[in-house]
Amino acid sequence: METINRNEHDFHAGDMVRAEVRTGQYVGELVELNGPRALVKVLAVLKHPEQGDLHSPYNPDVPMFHERRALSYTEKTTVLLRDLKSYSGPVPDYKQSLLAAAEAEIAGLDRLQRWSAKGLEQLIQLKKEYDK
């Protein structure tokens, strides 16, 4: 069995890991090690991927505003070893974890939208005062 030592953790095929893939985070089973990468089978979603252009975060005026779906249940994905951490504890149900992650992302965007609207409102008021 192949083993990789990363920051005092030995990873083995069959280990449960937390994997960061682009802007999403997943719980999965390490299937195979291949040099600086590992093949991980997705079992749950911890953080839903962010939407939009990753190179222009929070900019809605980009040529292509990307839709990013979460990786599917049992989908296999390659992950750099630096983006893996050991995972212990119960593995959440995929469907429930997917819905919870999507709800958390929606709540975060809603909070950001409300913050932005309040900030805009205050700046417009300040600008009026500045014009006096």
Segment holding 39, helix H or strand E? strand 37-47
The rounded distance, in Å, linking the Cα atoms of 15 and 3 is 11
Query: What pLDDT digit, counting tens, does each position of 64-115 carry?
Result: 999 999 999 999 999 999 999 999 999 999 999 999 999 999 999 999 999 9
Q: What are phi and psi of 104, to 5 degrees?
A: -65, -40
The larger pLDDT score, comparing residue 6 to residue 70, is at: 70
The rounded distance, in Å, linking the Cα atoms of 48 and 106 is 10
Segment holding 24, helix H or strand E? strand 24-34
Query: What pLDDT digit, counting tens, does each position of 75-88 carry?
Result: 999 999 999 999 99
Instruction: State the average pLDDT over residues 7-14.
Output: 77
Query: What pLDDT is attached to residue 10?
Result: 84
What's this model's pTM, rounded to 2 decimal places? 0.85
Kindly compute the dihedral angle of the four CA atoms of residues 70, 71, 77, 82, in this order, to the nearest 10 degrees.
30
CA separation (Å) from 91 to 5, 54, 74, 105, 111?
A: 23, 28, 13, 20, 28
Residue 8, pLDDT > 50, answer: no
Query: What pLDDT is attached to residue 132?
Result: 87
Look-up of token digits 């083995």: 12
Which residue(s) pair with 76 in the sheet? 41
Residue 120, pLDDT > 90, answer: yes
Query: What pLDDT is attached to residue 6?
Result: 47
The rounded distance, in Å, linking the Cα atoms of 54 and 33 is 27
Q: What are phi and psi of 89, to 5 degrees?
A: 105, 175
Query: What pLDDT digit, counting tens, does each position of 29-54 carry?
Result: 999 999 999 999 999 999 999 999 98
